[in-house]
Amino acid sequence: MDIGPKIKNARLDANLTQEQVAEALGVSRQTISNWENEKTYPDIISVVKMSDLYHISLDHLLKEEKIMLNYLDYLEESTNTVKSNDRKAKITFISVYLAIWAFAIIVFWFFTSGSDAMGYSLMFLWVLLPVSTFTFSLMIGRNNYWGNQKWVSSIVFGIMYMLAEYATFNAANMTAFNKFNMPRFGMLAGGAVMSAAGIAIGRAVRRMKHSR
């Protein structure tokens, strides 16, 4: 007997319908049906929830050697898929942010004249980049990217925000007056604070969702 019939019989013994189980687990009725007919396998969290819902042990659900082997193979494949998707999402995430950052620099040097400087400052340094920093940081907290190391990204965002100003207005000033200026570290602090706020809010949203 495989895991599908096992969880179906456990559900019937508990006098629960597929709709009731689907609502308790936060999935669709079709998902429950697919699990019971072995079209797909439940994830480990759902198996644990079903054992509690049906008042039976995990050992009872998975004790047969064939079930364990098949399910462990599924979990390994599923874990590898999740890791691959997570890696792709992070690469896309970083690439999009860098593209926005580079776009801001390119616009300054190739499409901005002296009379446009104030408008550029407002649009890019005080709107686009801060909003991007906050939004991307919110996503980091919401998706728990990089685990406990995610807070380091607030420093990275702060550095990128500082470099954006240094590579535009500061660089133009140095070129015009033939002198060297230090980066404005206040920009780093501002970017880091915006990022940390985004991560904290995203983390809070994640916790509220998981606590339901």
Quick one: pLDDT at residue 71? 64
Q: Band of the pLDDT at 1, cuts 50, 70, 90?
A: very low
Q: How many residues are recorded in the chain?
A: 212
Q: What is the pLDDT of residues 44-82, one digit of tens each?
A: 788 888 988 998 887 777 765 455 556 666 666 666 665
Residues contacting 90, CB < 8 A, separation 6+? 145, 146
- Residue holding tokens 């936060």? 26
**Six token digits for residue 210:** 């998981």
Quick one: pLDDT at residue 101? 95
**Six token digits for residue 122:** 């407002």
Please identify, among 31, 48, 63, the residue that sits at the C-terminal boundary of a domain.
Answer: 63
* Residue 182 shares a structural domain with residue 93: yes
Quick one: pLDDT at residue 192? 96
Furthest-apart CA atoms within the chain: distance in Å: 83
CB 151 within 8 A of CB 199: yes
Quick one: pLDDT at residue 97? 96
Give the integer Cα–Cα distance in Å for 43 and 71.
Answer: 9
Average pLDDT of every residue of the chain: 86
Q: What is the pLDDT of residues 94-131, one digit of tens each?
A: 999 999 999 999 988 888 876 777 788 778 888 999 99
Give the integer Cα–Cα distance in Å for 56 and 9.
Answer: 11
* Residue 131 shares a structural domain with residue 185: yes
- Whether residue 79 lies inside any domain: the answer is no
* Residue 202 shares a structural domain with residue 144: yes
* Residue 191 shares a structural domain with residue 105: yes
* Residue 137 shares a structural domain with residue 190: yes
Lowest mean pLDDT among 68-82, 118-132, 159-173, 196-210: 68-82
**Six token digits for residue 17:** 């319908």
- Whether residue 76 lies inside any domain: the answer is no
- Whether residue 183 lies inside any domain: the answer is yes
Quick one: pLDDT at residue 82? 59
- The CA radius of gyration of the chain, in Å to the nearest whole number, is 26
Residue 31's domain comprises 3-63
- Domain of 20: which CATH number? 1.10.260.40
- Whether residue 142 lies inside any domain: the answer is yes
- Whether residue 111 lies inside any domain: the answer is yes
**Six token digits for residue 10:** 């456990």
- Whether residue 171 lies inside any domain: the answer is yes
* Residue 103 shares a structural domain with residue 51: no
* Residue 21 shares a structural domain with residue 90: no
Lowest mean pLDDT among 45-59, 63-77, 132-146, 196-210: 63-77
* Residue 164 shares a structural domain with residue 116: yes
CB 31 within 8 A of CB 16: no
* Residue 131 shares a structural domain with residue 35: no
* Residue 153 shares a structural domain with residue 205: yes
* Residue 92 shares a structural domain with residue 59: no
- Own/partner pairs, 8-16, CB within 8 angstroms, 24+ separation: 8/36, 10/50, 10/54, 10/56, 10/60, 10/61, 11/36, 11/50, 11/54, 13/54, 13/56, 14/53, 14/54, 14/55, 16/53, 16/54
- Whether residue 70 lies inside any domain: the answer is no
* Residue 137 shares a structural domain with residue 198: yes
- Whether residue 8 lies inside any domain: the answer is yes
Give the integer Cα–Cα distance in Å for 166 and 172.
Answer: 9
Quick one: pLDDT at residue 76? 66
Instruction: With both helix axes pointing from N to C terminus, report the angle between 65-111 and 129-143 in degrees, rounded to the nearest 10.
Output: 170
Quick one: pLDDT at residue 74? 60
Quick one: pLDDT at residue 152? 95
The structural domain count of the chain equals: 2
Instruction: For the chain, list the strands marked E by DSSP.
Output: none
Lowest mean pLDDT among 110-119, 153-162, 175-184: 110-119
